[in-house]
Amino acid sequence: MKIGVFVCHCGSNIEATVDTASVAGTARAFPDVAYATDVMYSCSEPGQDGIIQAVREKGLDGVVVASCSPRMHETTFRRAVERAGLNRYMLEMANIREHVSWIGKDREANTNKAAELVRLAVEKLRRNRALFPKSFDITRRVLVIGGGVAGIQAALDCADGGLDVVLVEKTSSIGGKMAKLDKTFPTVDCSSCILGPKMVDVAQHERIALHAYAEVEEIGGYVGNFEVKIRKKATFVDWSLCTGCGLCMEKCPSRKSHDAFNEGVGLTTAINIPFPQAIPKKALIDARFCRQFLKGKCGVCAKVCPSGAIRYEMEDEVITEKVGAIVTATGFDLFDHTKYGEYGGGRYPDVITSLQYERLLSASGPTGGHVKRPSDGREPRTVVFVQCVGSRDTSVDRPYCSGFCCMYTAKQAILTKDHIPESQSYVFYMDIRAPGKLYDEFTRRAMEEYGARYVRGRVAMIYPKGDRLLVRGADTLMGEQVEIEADLVVLAVGAEAAAGSPALAEKLRISYDKYGFFMESHPKLRPVETNTAGVYLAGACQGPKDIPSSVGQGSAAASKVLGLFSRQKLESDPQISQVNQRRCVGCGKCALTCPFGAVKMIDVRGEPKAEVIETVCQGCGICAVTCPQGAVQLEHFTDNQILAEVNALCQS
């Protein structure tokens, strides 16, 4: 075998603390090494051409590149050796940047360590063999989880691109948080007016199958061929018959049900269509409040329904869908402000969240768009906004900035003045975060044109004084303690991961951070991909995000799915486990440990044997280390290859 070694300077990243020329010199003495050199930038075009030229001219059979992490450039160099006519698995990388030059300053020690890593790579490469991927068919359908604005955008873009889309939404209508907003920043255009048409498009698109009031129960399979079980929760209304006329809501006698769409501001009926623009516009019975369920008698809705759609005996139904890719757009939840005892912990009716205030401002809200205090229905004159409630606060384990609260608070201050011209708004803020097109101008407008008084400081306590609220805070620019008697206090609650996010992430086999937000594949360069092939992210499930960013990610995820499906067939990674059935004793330990269910036990002439399902195997290697017989081997990382590296390290 003839091996070529290329030791990269990476500019000064490696060369500053590693003598690359000396490493190349040392490498020439390693077994089978026919050629070794140092290169300024091996990933650059001339660098890659140099590798290709050397392979051709020296007749090399394998290449070692000693440079950065394979996470960075393995694909680059695999393509290069392939262009040179070799199999792409005849490449090994020695990571002498992250593992050597960046972490040590001693040039001599670094040079020695780099040479040792090259020796390991050479020893492994001597035992490499050509591997060939297999190709398999793709199910050209996509599952979108979550019907907020990010999920809607992803679903529409995929469907417009010619894909069949399965859209699963947890609540009874799509629209998400955006549907609850009155206006949007920085344009102050009506939220439901711009979202409504998109929601209608979803309903009418022939390629989109919408499952509202449904949740993903189980996900099996792999990129290109997922099998998803979806639980369609019982609505107690046959949606194929329900016309959304709303007669049941008019007659329902149980009028004290929790109004989730209106964030608990006001009450609603047990049978309910959440809002006029709901998609699908279908009624749903909340069994926690329905008299038929609680007392066993009522049946008013069943009597009045003109289409006879009520089904009290309905049960959950689990359906199975086959898809080739998944976009998760499960959004966010709001911080629970009752954790702040000093702001009343939820005891004061006139201390409300920003989203509750949004419902008070909205014409489709419980007050018809008239701002009234929840306690006595009076119109507030002095409104105090408190920012960073559950943001940038380590003491409640929310150290991150939620990003959009500064903007929606400015918007709400502007809308307050629009609704009640004689009102005065105060905004307690720490810093104004307005990095976006026309964003800072917008917050300035709240102050300059609408006269909102911004106070730089946090609020320490809120307590009742008569029928008003005393807000005690600080103005750190003046260095003084200040207080304001307010009629209404609006808490700008931050974003947190949607309830159940970790559980969903585990079903999808994707990572999540300590707050429950899903992890992207790369924070800058792969923002909507995950580390699980075929699973993509959109919107605030990845981290707090405003509407433009969520829509952008929805489109980005859709383009990733369309790109994936543009291929005729997908290639499987050949770095997977193989069972040597002559050595297998059929103990079944590999099948038990496999986290992907990729090992199945089969019967070979009356004896149990393990077999790997090639398309399901992710190449993690757990089965290989579990097998007591050494019968399972992970291709490209066989015991012989790894032991050769260990030997090289221990015997040098």
Partner 1 sequence: METIDMRKAYDPAFVAQVQAESGQNLSLCYQCGNCTAGCPYTFVYDIPVSQMMRLVQTGRREKALSARSLWLCASCESCTTRCPNEIDVARVMDVMRHMARREGYVSEPAVKTFWDCFLDSMRRHGRVFELGLVAAFVARTGRFWTDMDLGPRMLPKGKLSFLPHGIQGKDEVRKIFERFAARSGS
Positions touching partner 1 (CB under 8 A) are 342, 388, 392-396, 430, 456-461, 472-476, 479-482
Q: Is the peptide bond before 628 cis (omega within 30 degrees of 0)?
A: no
Min CB(458)–partner 1 separation in Å: 4
**Cβ nearer to partner 1, comparing 50 with 457:** 457
Task: Give the residue among 546, 589, 521 at the shortest CA–CA distance from 408.
Answer: 546
Mention every residue, 6+ apart, whose C-beta is less than 8 A from residue 567. 138
The nearest distance, CB 394 to partner 1, in angstroms, is 5
Residue closer to partner 1, measured from CB, 389 or 579: 389
For residues 76 and 98, give the distance between their C-alpha atoms in angstroms, rounded to a whole number. 17
Complex with partner 1: residue 366 or 473, whichever CB lies closer:
473
Give least dist CB 445 to partner 1, A: 25
* Cα–Cα nearest to 13, from 98, 106, 113, 118: 98
Q: What is the DSSP string of 86-131?
A: S-TTSEEEEE-IIIIITT---HHHHHHHHHHHHHHHHHHHTT----
Could you tell me how far CA 91 lies from the centroid of its own chain? 33
**CA gyration radius, the chain:** 31
Question: Based on CB atoms, which residue is closest to partner 1, 434 or 474?
Answer: 474
Report the nearest approach of partner 1 to the CB of residue 397 (Å): 11
In angstroms, what is the minimal distance from the CB of 435 to partner 1?
Answer: 18
Question: For 400-439, b where at least 16 C-beta lie within 10 A, e where not — what string?
Answer: bbbbbbbbbbbbbbbbbbebbeebbbbbbbbebbbebeeb
Query: Furthest-apart CA pair in the chain: how many Å?
Result: 91
Q: How far is the CB of 470 from partner 1 (least distance, A)?
A: 12
Please tell me the distance from the alpha carbon of residue 40 to that of residue 42, in angstroms, as a whole number: 6
Q: Which residue's CB is nearer to partner 1, number 201 or number 475?
A: 475
Q: How far is the CB of 103 from partner 1 (least distance, A)?
A: 26
- Tell me the closest approach of the beta carbon of residue 356 to partner 1, in angstroms: 23
All residues at 6 or more sequence positions from 241 whose CB lies less than 8 Å from its CB, including other chains: 307, 308, 309
Q: Among residues 427 and 627, whose Cβ is nearest to partner 1?
A: 427
Q: In terms of CB distance, is 35 or 428 closer to partner 1?
A: 428
Shortest distance in whole angstroms from residue 404 CB to partner 1: 19
Environment class of 305 (CB within 10 Å of its CB; exposed 0-12, middle 13-18, buried 19+): buried
Q: Which is nearer to partner 1, 334 or 471 (CB)?
A: 471
The secondary structure of 554-618 as a DSSP string is HHHHHHHHHHHHTSSSEEPPS--EEE-TTT-----HHHHH-TT--EEEEEETTEEEEEE-TTT--
Whole-number minimum distance, CB 409 to partner 1, in Å? 16
Q: Which is nearer to partner 1, 390 or 516 (CB)?
A: 390
The residue among 236 and 343 lying less far from partner 1, judged by its C-beta, is 343
Ranges assigned E (strand) in 262-364 = 267-268, 271-272, 284-285, 317-323, 325-328, 332-334, 351-353
Q: Are 228 and 320 in contact (CB under 8 A)?
A: yes
